[in-house]
Amino acid sequence: MKKALFAFAIILNAVPVFCQQFVSQTKQQKAFSITASDLPAIYADPQDDWLCMKAATLLQHDIALVTGSKPTLLSQLPAAGQKTIIIGTIQGCAAIRKLIAQKQMNVGSIKGQWEAFQIQTIDTRSSAQSNTLVICGNDKRGAAYGVFELSAQLGVSPWYWWADVPARQQSAVYIKKGVYSYPSPSVKYRGIFINDEAPAFSGWTKEKFGGINHLVYEKVFELLLRLKANYLWPAMWGNAFNDDDTLNPILANKWGIVMGTSHHEPMLRAQTEWKRYGKGAWDYTKNESGLKTFWTNGIRNMGTHESIITVGMRGDGDEPMTDGTATALLERIVADQRQIIEKVTGKPASQTPQLWALYKEVQDYYDKGMRVPDDVTLLLCDDNWGNIRRLPNPADKPRKGGYGIYYHFDYVGGPRNYKWINTNNISRIWEQMHLAHAYGADKIWIVNVGDLKPMELPISFFLDYAYNTRKWNEDNITGFFTEWATQQFGADHAAAIATLLQKYSVYASRKKPELLNEKTYRIGANGEFDKIVEEWIQLRQQAEQVEKTIPSNMKDAYFQLVLHPIQAFENLHQLYYAVAQNRLLATQNNTSANQWADKALQYYIADSLLSIKYNKELANGKWNHMMDQTHIGYKYWQEPKQNRMPEVTYLNKPVAAGNSPLPDAGITTDKTATSLPAKDKLSLPASAYTKAIHTSGIRWKPIPDIGKNGSGMTSFPVTASVPLSKGSPCLEYEVHTTAGDSLRITAFFSPTLNFLHSPGGLRFAVSVDNGTPQVISLNQEENTHAWDLWVANNNIVKTSRQFFGLPGKHTIRYWMIDPGVILQKLEIDVNKPE
Ligand code: REL
C-alpha cells in the first residue's frame, strides 16, 4: 500500500509545468542543500552527451559565484550516500537509468518530449535531507536547460557575462523536496540573428577575441542556452560562420545550437562564401551547375550537425532576383536544392529541417501561388519594423513543416536604419508574437538582434515568451519588467527598476532615434515636444536617483541595462529640442537663440561622452566599440559615416529690449475634458471609453503600454472577425458639444499590417449616435509611401467625419470588425472637414 501511494505521489508531482520555484533560502525538511560549508559534488556521465559535462562545468562555476566555494566535478559516480548533483539525459546517463530502474525516478512525463527536463530530489539514506539532486533531460538541451533553470533560481542571471550582472551571493540555498518536471517549449526553434554587426559587434569582437570566431560564439551559445533558446543565424556582414573558423560549426553542434544561415543565404552557405569561392554568376538560369556545386558543399559541410537549411533563392546580397522572376524557376530551384540535400544526407529531404523565408518580395511569389513541399517551414516575416506581414490562414490545411516568424529589433534599410540602442516596445512584441502563436506560427521564431547588445531586455522577452507562450498575456505583461529587474538586480531594487524599464519601453518606441530631429515634434504651448522632453528628463532623474541606491557591484550592469539607454535617449531629445528652440528664436531675430545653440552643442558633446563611458569605462572597457554606432546626422535611410552636429544659428545682434530670456520648457498636456466648443479639440486615450460592449464571444481589453502614451484597446480572441451589425462589439465614448454639426474623429492605431491578407485590409467602423457606421480600412492603401509613414511614426492614423444633429451629448462608437487592430487614442474636432 505504501509503495502504491509513493508511485501515485510521483505521478501527481510529475505533471510538467513551466515556472516552478524550487529554490528556497530557508531550510526545509528533506530539501537538497547547497551550502558553502557542505557543497555537493557534481557528476555527469562521460559517456553522455558532451553538453551534459559542459553544463556541469557551468553549474560548478555558478555555484562558486553564489556560495563563494567551488564544488567538485566528477566523472565517476561517488560512493553511495555522498551528496551529489547528477546531470544527464535519460538515454545517456547510466546513473539516471539506474535510478529509473530502481523506481526512484519516474521520467514518464518528459520521455520523448523535445527539450523537456526534470529536476528531482532523492533521499537514498532516509535522512532529514535529500542527498541527490537529479537534473535529467529528455535530450541534451533539456539537460542544459535544467541546469540553467537551477542556476537562474540560485541567482545567476543568463546575462551574468553579457551584461556583468553579479550573482546573488548566499551561503546556503535549498532545493525543496520534489519532482519538478518541465514540458517541451511552446515554439520548437527559438533563436537570434546577429546582423548589421558593423561597426559595434565587429569592432568589439576584433578587439576582444581577434574576430568573430569560436571564442565569441561560445559565449553566444552559452547565452542562448541560459535563455532556453536553441537556434542561431550567425553574423554575415563580410563574415562566414563555417568558413572563418572551422571550430565554429563543431562547437555549435557540441553546445546543442541548431545552426542556420539568414533568410537570403540558401543551403547553409554564407553570402560571403559566394564572394570568396563562387564561380560564375549568381543566376540560376545562367549558372545552374556553379550554384549546385556551391550548395552541395554547404550540405556536405553540415554533416550530421543539427541545422535548419534555408531553401529558395534571392538576388545576390539580400536583393530581389531579377525583375519578373518566374515562380516556376524558383520552384525548380527548391526542388533541385532538395535533391542535393537528399543526395548528400542519404535520407529523404523531408528528414532534414528546412525553411523558406517569405521575406520582402519573396512573399509576393507565395501570394502568386509559388509553393514548396509540405515539410518545409514557411518562415513568415515582419516588415523589418516589428509588424508581422502575414499569418497562416486558419482555414488552410495544416502543413507538416508548419510556420515560423522572422522578426526585427534592429534593421538596416528604409525608411531609416535603426541600429543604435533598444527602441522595442515589449507590449507590442508580445502582441505581435501572441498573434503569431494564435494563428499557428510556432515552429521557428527568430529575431534580428543587431549587435546583440544593447538588446538584452527585448531578447530576454522574445525568448522567454517563445519558450512558454502561456506565461505572458495582456493582463500580466507588465510583470515581465518586475521579473526581469528582479533577475538582474534582486528583489530590493526590482520595483523601482521595473518602473524605469516599463516607461522606457513606451518612450523609446515612439520614434527611432535615427529619425528624430528638431522638427519631429512642435515646440511651444500647442506642441508635444516640451511634454516629451519633460518626460525624458523625469525618467532620467528617476534613473539617476535609483542608481544611488544600487550597490557598487551592480553599477556596471545598471549602467548598461538601465541608465545608459535612458540618459542617451534623454540627451538626444534635449539636443534636438535645443536645436528647435535655436531655429525658432533665430527666425525671430532673438539672440537667445545663441544660448540654445550653446546648449545644443553641449548635448551633442554629452552624447559622445556617454558613448565613451559605455565603450571605455563600463566594466573597465570590456564593451569597447559596442557604442560605436553613428546616430546623429542622417540625411537618408543609410547611416552617416560620423555623427554630425545639427546646424544651429548664431546671431550677432545684442538681445533687444523685450526679447525673451531662454524660454522654459513648458508642458502641454492632452485635454481630456469632455465639453467641446467649436474649433476645440478633444484627445481621448482609447481606454477612456464610457462603455464597452462585449458581444459574440468578443471581449475588449487594454494592452498596457503598447501605445505612444500608454495602453491600447483591442479585441480578444485575436483570431475572430465579426461582420458589422447592430449587435457588434464596440466601445462608446461620450462627448458634449456646445456648437457645430459634425465631428472629425481621428483615430490613432498601432501600425498593424494586413496579416490576414483580406482584400479590404483590417477594418473597423465609427459612428456617432444613431448614424450609420462608416467602415474604414486600416491598411487598404498599403503602399511604400504610406508604409514609410506608418513605421516612421509608429502608428496608423485614420480620420472620419460624422454628422450630428444639435449640440449636446453625443455617443461616438468605435466598432470592431477585424482582429489585431490596436486603438491608442481618438482626437475629436468639431466641424473640421475630414
Ligand atoms: O534585416 C534583414 O533581414 C536583412 O537586411 C539582412 O538579412 C541582410 O542580411 C543584411 O544585413 C545585409 O545583407
Domain extent for 130: 2-182
The answer to whether the CB of 417 is under 6 A from ligand 1 is: no
Q: What is the pLDDT of residue 677?
A: 59
Residues 615 and 657 in one domain: yes
- Dist CA 308 CA 261 (whole Å): 8
The tens digit of pLDDT for each residue in 21-67 reads: 999 999 989 999 999 999 999 999 999 999 999 999 999 999 999 99
Q: What is the pLDDT of residue 671?
A: 29
Element housing 118 (H / E) = strand 117-122
Distance 505 CA to ligand 1 centre (A): 25
Instruction: Considering only residues 139 and 677, tell me which one the structure prediction assigns the higher pLDDT.
Output: 139
- Average pLDDT, integer, range 348-367: 95
The answer to whether the CB of 318 is under 6 A from ligand 1 is: yes
479-489 and 426-438 helices cross at what angle (nearest 10)? Answer: 120
The secondary structure of 332-368 as a DSSP string is: HHHHHHHHHHHHHHSS-GGGS-EEEE--TTHHHHHHT
Residues 403 and 307 in one domain: yes
Residue 522 has pLDDT above 90, yes or no: yes
> Which of 194, 195, 197 to mutate for ligand 1's pocket (most ligand atoms within 8 Å of CB)?
195
Task: Looking at 734-806, list the stretches that DSSP marks H as alpha helix, in order from N- to C-terminal side.
Answer: 784-793
Please identify, by atom number, the ligand 1 atom nearest to the C-alpha of residue 384: 1
Please identify, by atom number, the ligand 1 atom nearest to the C-alpha of residue 406: 3
| Closest CA relative to residue 95, chosen from 143, 39, 153 | 143
Residue 658 has pLDDT above 80, yes or no: no
Q: Which of 444, 473, 502 is the last residue in one of the domains?
A: 473
CB 817 within 8 A of CB 714: no
Residues 687 and 588 in one domain: no
Distance 199 CA to ligand 1 centre (A): 15
**CATH code assigned at 93:** 3.30.379.10
Query: From the DSSP assignment, how many helices (H) and strands (E) are in the chain?
Result: 21, 29
Q: Would you tell me how many other CB atoms lie within 10 Å of the CB of residue 778? A: 26
Cell of 137: 533531460
Residues 292 and 400 in one domain: yes
The answer to whether the CB of 410 is under 6 A from ligand 1 is: no
Distance 379 CA to ligand 1 centre (A): 15
**CATH code assigned at 804:** 2.60.120.1620
| Closest CA relative to residue 57, chosen from 43, 47, 68, 69 | 43
Residues 464 and 483 in one domain: no
Instruction: Considering only residues 492 and 832, tell me which one the structure prediction assigns the higher pLDDT.
Output: 492
> Which of 192, 237, 318 to mutate for ligand 1's pocket (most ligand atoms within 8 Å of CB)?
318
Residue 212 has pLDDT above 60, yes or no: yes
- Dist CA 267 CA 302 (whole Å): 9
Distant-in-sequence, close-in-space partners of 532: CB < 8 Å, separation ≥ 6:
507, 510, 521, 573
The length of the chain in residues reads 834
HEC letters along 683-732: EEEHHHCCEEECCCCCEEEEECCCCCCCCEEEEECCCCCCCCCCCCCEEE
The answer to whether the CB of 195 is under 6 A from ligand 1 is: yes
> Which of 237, 412, 417 to mutate for ligand 1's pocket (most ligand atoms within 8 Å of CB)?
412
Number of domains in the chain: 4
Residues 757 and 617 in one domain: no
**Geometric angle at alpha carbon 362, from 357 and 365, rounded to 5°:** 120
- Dist CA 695 CA 15 (whole Å): 36
The band of 74, judged by pLDDT with boundaries at 50, 70 and 90, is very high
**CATH code assigned at 663:** 1.20.58.2150
Please identify, by atom number, the ligand 1 atom nearest to the C-alpha of residue 410: 1
The band of 320, judged by pLDDT with boundaries at 50, 70 and 90, is confident
Please identify, by atom number, the ligand 1 atom nearest to the C-alpha of residue 381: 3
Q: Measure the N-to-C terminal CA separation of the chain; round to a whole number of Å.
A: 79
CB 534 within 8 A of CB 667: yes
- Average pLDDT, integer, range 210-239: 98
Q: What is the pLDDT of residue 40?
A: 97
Look up residue 337 and give its amino acid: Q
- Average pLDDT, integer, range 9-27: 77
Distance 263 CA to ligand 1 centre (A): 8
| Closest CA relative to residue 762, chosen from 714, 690, 708 | 714
Q: Share the mean pLDDT of the chain.
A: 94
SS3 252: helix
Distant-in-sequence, close-in-space partners of 666: CB < 8 Å, separation ≥ 6:
524, 525, 530
Distance 430 CA to ligand 1 centre (A): 23
Residues 249 and 296 in one domain: yes
- Dist CA 781 CA 286 (whole Å): 38
Q: What is the pLDDT of residue 325?
A: 64
- The residue assigned the cell 501572441 is 434
Q: Would you tell me how many other CB atoms lie within 10 Å of the CB of residue 603? A: 21
Q: Which of 615, 638, 669 is the last residue in one of the domains?
A: 669
Q: What is the pLDDT of residue 344?
A: 98
The tens digit of pLDDT for each residue in 147-178 reads: 999 999 999 999 999 999 999 999 999 999 99
Residues 90 and 174 in one domain: yes
Cell of 620: 573597465
Task: Looking at 422-563, list the stretches that DSSP marks H as alpha helix, in order from N- to C-terminal side.
Answer: 426-438, 456-467, 479-489, 491-508, 529-549, 555-558
Q: Would you tell me how many other CB atoms lie within 10 Å of the CB of residue 287? A: 16
Pseudo-torsion of CA 23, 25, 29, 31, nearest 10°? 40
**ipTM score of the complex?**
0.95
Q: Name the strands in the sheet holding 172-175, side by side, starting at the edge strand that comes first in the sequence.
A: 23-24, 172-175, 32-35
Distance 381 CA to ligand 1 centre (A): 12
Residue 655 has pLDDT above 80, yes or no: no
Cell of 83: 551528496
Residues 721 and 609 in one domain: no
The band of 673, judged by pLDDT with boundaries at 50, 70 and 90, is very low
Q: What is the pLDDT of residue 34?
A: 97
Look up residue 638 and give its amino acid: Q
The answer to whether the CB of 411 is under 6 A from ligand 1 is: yes
Residues 339 and 482 in one domain: no
**CATH code assigned at 343:** 3.20.20.520
- Dist CA 133 CA 31 (whole Å): 10
Residues 421 and 484 in one domain: no
- Average pLDDT, integer, range 297-326: 89
The band of 734, judged by pLDDT with boundaries at 50, 70 and 90, is very high
Beta-bridge partner residues of 354:
309
Instruction: Considering only residues 412 and 130, tell me which one the structure prediction assigns the higher pLDDT.
Output: 412
Cell of 204: 568589439
Residues 334 and 437 in one domain: yes
Sign of CA dihedral 223, 227, 232, 235: negative
Distance 139 CA to ligand 1 centre (A): 33
Q: What is the pLDDT of residue 678?
A: 54
- Average pLDDT, integer, range 657-663: 43
- Average pLDDT, integer, range 684-706: 96
Distance 699 CA to ligand 1 centre (A): 39
CB 799 within 8 A of CB 746: yes
Q: Which of 669, 684, 700 is the last residue in one of the domains?
A: 669
- Dist CA 491 CA 554 (whole Å): 13
